[in-house]
Chains A and B, each alone.
Chain A
Amino acid sequence: MGVNPEIVGKTYTGAPVYEVGREKIREFAEAVRSADPVHTDPEAARAQGYADVIAPPTFAIVVAQRCEGLVMADPDAGIDYSRLVHGEQRFTHHRPIVAGDRLTSVAHVDDARVMAGNGRVVTRVEITDAAGEPVTTAVSMVLIRAEDEK
């Protein structure tokens, strides 16, 4: 069945607050092989006007996917996680993610439909800081492949 279209419009608020640490940012930056000192050296980051080291542009996926996981695990959604394929990803950064941030995420299901047996789900995770100010909007489209015919 792919996905239950009735979950469109649902919101998921259960993700715990994500505390952004310097070492986590360093680890992620090293994994994506970014040598920009703004990820590892607080002084270099401050010289560019940031309060502390900042995360690479796709780090927000770490935060967003915990929240999206609530959608995928929702029994109402009827999603078979093992058949899931990431189709598209988009980030809008209202500001960079900075070490010391305490981030809250809310996932919104913007679209969920079944086409030729395949499910297609669009989720939008709004990430905000401790003051409630917007940090990142992360939009994902995932496909849930139809069962093999045999």
Chain B
Amino acid sequence: MKFGEVAAGDELPPADITVTRADLIRYAGASGDFNVIHWNDRVATSVGLPGVIAHGMYTMALGGRYVSDWAGGAGAVVEYGVRFTNLVPVPDDDSGATVTFSGKVTKTDEAASTVTVTLTALAGGQKVLGKAIAVVRLP
């Protein structure tokens, strides 16, 4: 993606990303976040959760990957922020949960050669990220 090819209002092609228990275990190991609610139903339900939930940071990371894949490189992301608004329960089956990402270019800054993308992440019909905004620098 080149800066000149992008205009405010452009939409990113939506993408469905599945999240299984195996993904959560792998992310726990890679990130060092071993909070039990991300792998143990017994503990998750005992603290009032519907069951094992995805790490908010995992959902955020998938959104970051969605934007950087569109931008054409992970190094392009200069700012990225989200609010965690809803849980992503991940059932103990082979299909797991599906998070649907979409995005829209909301601003372009010619001086900085940056583009602002506002992301939407839906799981189970609910927005799981709020104020999800990434700023990417394009050549």
A54 to B32, CA, bound (A): 19
The main secondary structure of chain B at its interface with chain A is: helix
B98 CB to nearest A CB, Å: 14
Please indicate the chain A residues that have their CB under 8 angstroms from the CB of B32 in the complex.
62, 65-66
The main secondary structure of chain A at its interface with chain B is: mixed
B57 within 8 A of A: yes
Binds A, one of B1-9, B60-68, B89-97: B60-68
Contact with B along A55-79 (1 / 0, CB 8 A): 1111001100110000000000000
Question: Which residues of chain A in 1-41 are interfacial with respect to chain B, using CB atoms and an 8 Å cutoff?
Answer: 24, 27-28, 30-34, 36, 38-39
Binds B, one of A87-95, A101-109, A110-118, A119-127: A87-95
Interface residue tally on A, bucketed by range: 20 to 34
Question: Which residues of chain B in 78-109 are interfacial with respect to chain A, using CB atoms and an 8 Å cutoff?
Answer: 78-84
A54 to B74, CA, bound (A): 8
B125 within 8 A of A: no
With contacts A34-B74, A38-B73 taken as known, whether A88 is within 8 angstroms of B81 at the C-beta atoms is yes
- CB pair A89 B81 closer than 8 Å: yes
Contact among A27, A55, A56, A139 with B65 in the assembled complex (CB-CB below 8 Å): A56
Nearest opposing residue in chain B for A139, CB measure: B81
Most buried by B among A32, A61, A139: A32
With contacts A27-B29, A65-B33, A87-B84 taken as known, whether A32 is within 8 angstroms of B65 at the C-beta atoms is yes
A24 CB to nearest B CB, Å: 8
Interface residue tally on B, bucketed by range: 20 to 34
A-B contact pairs, 25 of them (CB 8 A): A28-B30, A31-B61, A32-B27, A32-B65, A34-B65, A34-B68, A34-B74, A36-B69, A38-B74, A38-B75, A48-B73, A56-B61, A56-B65, A57-B64, A57-B77, A65-B33, A66-B32, A85-B84, A86-B57, A87-B84, A89-B60, A90-B81, A93-B77, A93-B78, A93-B79
Please indicate the chain B residues that have their CB under 8 angstroms from the CB of A55 in the complex.
74
A103 to B77, CA, bound (A): 19
- CB pair B62 A56 closer than 8 Å: no
A96 within 8 A of B: yes
- CB pair B78 A88 closer than 8 Å: no
Please indicate the chain B residues that have their CB under 8 angstroms from the CB of A30 in the complex.
26, 30
With contacts A86-B57, A87-B84, A91-B81 taken as known, whether A54 is within 8 angstroms of B30 at the C-beta atoms is no
